[in-house]
Structure 1
Amino acid sequence: MAELNTQARSLRGRRRTQTIAARVDLTAMVDLMFLLITFFMLTSSLSKFHNMPLAMPDKAPGGSGFKIPDNRSMTICLGDNNKVLWYMGAVANPLAGPSTTHYSSSGIRKEITAKNKEAIQSSGSITKGLIVVVKPSDKSSYKNLVDILDELKIAGVNTYFIADLSAAEINQMRKKGIY
């Protein structure tokens, strides 16, 4: 058992009288401490993860069975040195771009927001906004992918997915010097 012993002595006059020391049993206090620690460990909540929904296209041998309108599709290729290549429509015949920009509010976010507004106006429905295809390269980092997904969320784009780069897109990125 845990106990606290103190020796108390008092001197009165010539004679020494010895008083009995107080014994305090600390067993109950130790038990209470462990109960409190256990209680707070079990009732506290740790930080929870925040997940973003992400759709990956099927790897069908004949390609996907749906066609995205060129005026609603934006492709973003993630390159080296925190640079981004984007274009609207198909890579062979783009409606806008390809242009190179960076990750910031005046860079890719400005372009995504503007193109999303154009897509909503042309379709006439707020549910038919911009469809973004994000294509990371082997030169980009994981941070770049997270940054572009954050930019899409900030810009209000609800439909996006991740795909692999094609050879034509790699050539465009080489021409711009970001691959």
Structure 2
Amino acid sequence: MSAEVQESSGGKRSKSKQKKMNVRVDFTPMVDMNMLLITFFMLCTTLSQPQTMEISMPSNEKDLTKDQLTEVKASQALTLLLGPENKLYYYEGEPNYTDYTSLKETTYGADGLRNILLRKNAAAVNEVRALKQQKLELKITDADYKKRVTEIKGGKDTPTIIIKATDDASYKNLIDALDEMQICNIGKYVITDIVDADRFLMQNYDAKGALSQGSTE
């Protein structure tokens, strides 16, 4: 950066000598400095990686009978019903549409849905935590860690989460539910359409069983 000072006198007509200073600042070196800084940060900064979510669907075991598959799915399934006004309902296994108490209500907070998922997926969560500790101690590589975590999440004894959202559920509710899948190491979950029987179950739950079974038709 440089500055030039130009002096000029007022001429013969001026009784007192007055000096005028014209300052011109040269910013050309600043351009080079900015380019160097931009290049430095581009080379030294790690670009953000796109974050994706793994979705492992239940495997189709051909060597099992249909009744065995249904039994496994029912024992490991957890269905989430996303209702209006940030309401969240759930039931485990097969629902009993004649008994509104088979439906439970929880919240999207850490003391609600997260606790349920951690309890349902306790074995896998403990295994992933142990692997993470081994990774921190440099006992396994990052590639091995990711491979083994994927295998744990997709294991036969891990739960399958079925997410059903009503038309009145917000997009944020769905995102919050999907975030909990990642936090709780849920590897098998699916988003599917809600059926009329599930809508009735929610309405009957809110009405404390006052609705008749004929409302499902």
Q: Is the TM value for this pair above 0.5?
A: yes
Q: Scaled by the length of structure 1, what TM-score is found? A: 0.65
Call closer, same or farther: CA 1:164–1:119 in 2, change over 3 Å: farther
Cα displacement (A) at 1:118: 8.4
Say if 1:74 and 1:87, in contact at 8 Å, map to a contact too: yes
Matched ranges for 1:63-82 at <5 A: 67=70, 69-82=73-86
Q: Aligned residue for 1:98?
A: 103
Higher helix share: 2
Q: Scaled by the length of structure 2, what TM-score is found? A: 0.55
Helix, strand or coil for the counterpart of 2:104?
strand
Unpaired runs of 5+ residues, structure 1, are 10-15, 58-64, 121-125
Helix, strand or coil for the counterpart of 1:81?
coil
Helix, strand or coil for the counterpart of 1:134?
strand
Higher strand share: 1
Coordinate RMSD, CA, aligned: 3.9
Q: Aligned residue for 1:109?
A: 114
Say if 2:5 and 2:24, in contact at 8 Å, map to a contact too: no
Say if 1:135 and 1:164, in contact at 8 Å, map to a contact too: yes
Q: Aligned residue for 1:51?
A: 52
Q: Aligned residue for 2:211?
A: none
Helix, strand or coil for the counterpart of 1:6?
strand
Poorly superposed stretches of 4+, deviation over 6 Å: none
Which structure has the higher relative contact order (CA within 8 Å, separation 6+)?
A: 2
Unpaired runs of 5+ residues, structure 2, are 9-16, 59-65, 126-151, 208-217
Call closer, same or farther: CA 1:173–1:136 in 2, change over 3 Å: same
1:5-44 deviation line (CA, Å, top 9, x unaligned): 20369xxxxxx9x9xx9x9983751541453365257545
Call closer, same or farther: CA 1:170–1:56 in 2, change over 3 Å: farther
Q: Aligned residue for 2:178?
A: 149
